[in-house]
Each structure stands twice: as structure tokens, then as C-alpha cells.
Structure 1
């Protein structure tokens, strides 16, 4: 029933029999039940499942935005960074100042946070947009700024920036297909260049296959891990997507028949 911070553990995050119940007595709803999941340092894991299966709930627990009702979550980072479907940038701040904000909250001095923000904007290929405010940017550009800000949030004064965890809750779902495709490629590029551990929530099978090194399928409510696919990049993408889609349909149909 706890979330702990433990440096000796090698995994970026480890969930041990994690459960989450909302409400009490007759109105109780079990969102997650006995979830075991580990994300290794530098690993990109996609968490897949139907709507309402507890994917976002699990992410909120790992982020520390809520507490599990059962089980234990162990992190090797002081606090993971979260990126949501909406960019949620501060509209009165420039792109650069939005990226600087978590660095300021972490205690970085002005010159250091400006340098780090410039580096992160360059990493997401927005080095020329630092002085623009969110309303001057396209949806895809705003999500790039949000990605840079999330990466900034993994930085700690005197900390190990290479030991970072990024939690992503369907960050590209609201974008058009072309922009989503571009940002998926950009995310992979950024991930490879930073070595950040990523736990990415999606309901899109093809997105999971394209991005993840490992794909984890949750059952319908209550969410439980029902299957995992390892070494995803080495598999035939079309065949794997068809296989995962078949399993997802079984999960949904089983829930509908219950």
C-alpha cells in the first residue's frame, strides 16, 4: 500500500501486486488488481488496453498523483515526469520559460536552467521557437514543448539525469495522423539520444508496436497484466500488430460477456 524510493533497486520502476480500489463498501470499484510490472533503465514499455482498463490509473500511481490500495511501487527516481494528452503549457509563458519552469522548481539557477532549456528545445527541434508563446505554436509544436518540459522535470540538482523515468498518457491521441506519425518518430529519436526510461500508455496497437521495446496488455476492469510481448522491434510489425489486436479483442469480448 506504499510508494517507496529505493536507490539500490536496478529497475526504473517496479510494481509488486499493485491494486487500486475507488470508493468503499457497495460503491467500490476495483480499477487495478495484482499488477506486477517492471520497467528497466532505458527501456521503452507500452502499456496497452481498452478504454477504462486502468492504464491512466496505473500511470497516476507511478507518478505519485494517487496511492495504491494494495501492493508496492518502487522507484529509482526522486519523481518521474508526466506528459499528458493535452500539452497544458502555461499560456502566458514563452516556450523556453515553460521548459524552464520545472528546472526552477527543482532549484536550478537562472543561467543553468536557461542553458538546459535551450538544449532541450534543440533536442526536440524547436530551437527557433523559444520566444514564442503557446498560441503561436501548432498542436504538434506544443506537444514538443511539453516533451521538452517533461524531460526538464527529470533533472535534479546534483542528480543523475541519466536515471530518468518519463510517463506518457496517450500524448499524441488528439493530433492528426500525419502530425502523430512525425511525433512518434521524434519521440523515438529523443528516447534513443537520452536513454530515458519510458512508460507509454496507449489504446492504439500500431502505436504500441511502433514505439515499444516491450508491449504489456492489460485486461478490462479490473486491470491485470494478461500478456507481454518482448523484443518488439525485432518482430514483423504487421504480424505482431495482428496478434496483439486479436488478444485485445478477446479481452474486450470477455469483459462484454461478463
Structure 2
């Protein structure tokens, strides 16, 4: 097999005192519980994952295993009960399953809002929004309202808005789950292209095994609640990949068997 080539490492990637590259995101022995003392529900248990600069990591697991909770912790929307999370540089950008666009704003103005919050001068926002729309292949859509856009187009705008935050780390919480198969397939291609062009580090949450194998350089399987890292796979397949590729299908079968085992073990508890 041909090993996937990493996109160019961002120039801002930091190095430690020993010369080693510092991870773009580090999740170190993180646990998370909800509830009150005496009635706590543990969602995550001692999770450790590093995401290297420019790496695309897919976090895979059954519904309820804590994937989205972990992503929220990395995004800084909540704090772990124990353990640490480090994201050197700017705060991660976050893209949800729902596009979360403001319907009273145009596509371009949704992006410009993110640029304004980042501190981009007013006179520069329009041109930058146009550039980002072109990057996600929506050139000319600046003035379109949200209701005029298809589901796939809305997710492209959401991606452009996330990119407008100018973070080196992009967190994606099942962003294509609500789309039809063909639109999802097209956006897989677009995301892979944008990732390769920008050198972003991506942490992508999904419960779709084939999606994880198609997109990721590494697939991290979470156990059922409480979520733990059950196993990891390095995906040594060249990009671009197709969801129907034989090698993608074969690795997907292997991972699916492991996922089924985790679900069965959870059901016996």
C-alpha cells in the first residue's frame, strides 16, 4: 500500500525544547462525568489522543459513546472532570451536524460575522469572505440567503465560516450525517481537497465506519459508555479515496467487527 502523504505542515507549528513537533491538539488522560455527587454518570474515562499538525483523525464510535462530548471539551465549550486538553495557538474552529447559519444573513454575511469576531478590519471582510466561498466552490454565492441554498451548499458555507476563524485545528461533529449519500460523497471530496490545500489539523467525529476510513489518516475507535480509546488504525491508503474502493471496504469490515464487539460488550453490562 502507498502511505498517504501529509499536507504541508503549517509554518506556525510549534516545536518543543527537544526539537519534536508539538501536537496541534493533545487530549491527555481526560475523563468527564455529569450529574451530582452520588449520582454521577461517567461519559469519558481516561481518554488520550494526540492530533499532529496537518493530521486528519477520525473519532469513531456508537451513538452515546462520548464522541461529541470529547469534541466539545477540545473546543473549550466544557471542562474535563480530570485530565488536560492542550490546543496551542488559536481556539479551534468547530463545525456541527446542523449548519447553524443565521437565516437573516446572506451566505457571505454569515462568513463576515466570523471574520468580524476575529478582528478582521471591515474593509477587508468582503474580499476574504469571497475568497473563502471560492475555496469551498461557492463562488458567486455571497448574496444568497440561507433558504436559497441546498443542504450541501449550506454545509459548504458552514465550512467556509469555520475556516474564517483562521484556526489551525478544525473540529467537525458529524457534519454530513443529515445529507443524502451523493451530496455527502461530493463533500467528502471537497473536505479532503480543502484539508490538503490548507494544512489544517482535523478531528472529525462520526459513527459511519466507511466515512472514517475514506477521510482519515487515522481512525480512533471509542468504546461504548464510558468512552475509552479501544483501538486505533493508521489508514495507509492514498487520497483521493472512494467510499466503494476495495481497500476502503476491507478496512471498514475489520473496523466494523471491532465496533460491533464494543457494542456487544456494552450491552452485557
Structure 2 residue 257 is matched with structure 1 residue 246: yes
Q: Aligned partners of 1:232 and 1:29: how far apart in 2?
A: 37
**When the two structures are superposed, what TM-score results if normalisation uses the length of structure 1?**
0.92
Q: Aligned partners of 1:117 and 1:85: how far apart in 2?
A: 22
Structure 2 residue 209 is matched with structure 1 residue 197: no
The CA RMSD over aligned residues, in Å, is 1.4
Which residue of the other structure, out of 115, 124, 134, is the alignment partner of 1:122? 134
Q: Aligned partners of 1:69 and 1:133: how far apart in 2?
A: 41
SS at match of 1:153: coil
Q: Aligned partners of 2:48 and 2:78: how far apart in 1?
A: 18
Given that 1:32 and 1:224 are in contact with CA atoms closer than 8 Å, whether structure 2 keeps it comes out as: yes
Structure 2 counterpart of 1:42: 54
Q: 5 Å matches for 1:210-225?
A: 210-225=214-229
Mean Cα displacement is larger for which, 244-253 or 70-79?
70-79
Q: 5 Å matches for 1:17-56?
A: 17-56=29-68
Which structure 2 residue ranges, 5 or more long, are not aligned? 1-12, 17-21, 239-245
Which structure 1 residue ranges, 5 or more long, are not aligned? 1-5, 156-163
* Cα shift at 1:113: 1.9
* Cα shift at 1:246: 0.3
* Cα shift at 1:7: 5.8
Structure 1 counterpart of 2:170: 166
Q: Aligned partners of 2:205 and 2:181: how far apart in 1?
A: 18
Structure 2 counterpart of 1:229: 233
Structure 2 counterpart of 1:161: none
SS at match of 2:114: helix
* Cα shift at 1:101: 1.0
Structure 2 counterpart of 1:16: 28
**When the two structures are superposed, what TM-score results if normalisation uses the length of structure 2?**
0.88
SS at match of 2:42: strand
Q: Aligned partners of 1:186 and 1:57: how far apart in 2?
A: 26
* Cα shift at 1:38: 0.3
* Cα shift at 1:236: 2.1
Equivalent residues, number: 245
Q: Aligned partners of 1:79 and 1:24: how far apart in 2?
A: 29
Structure 2 counterpart of 1:149: 161
Structure 1 counterpart of 2:100: 88
Structure 2 residue 79 is matched with structure 1 residue 78: no
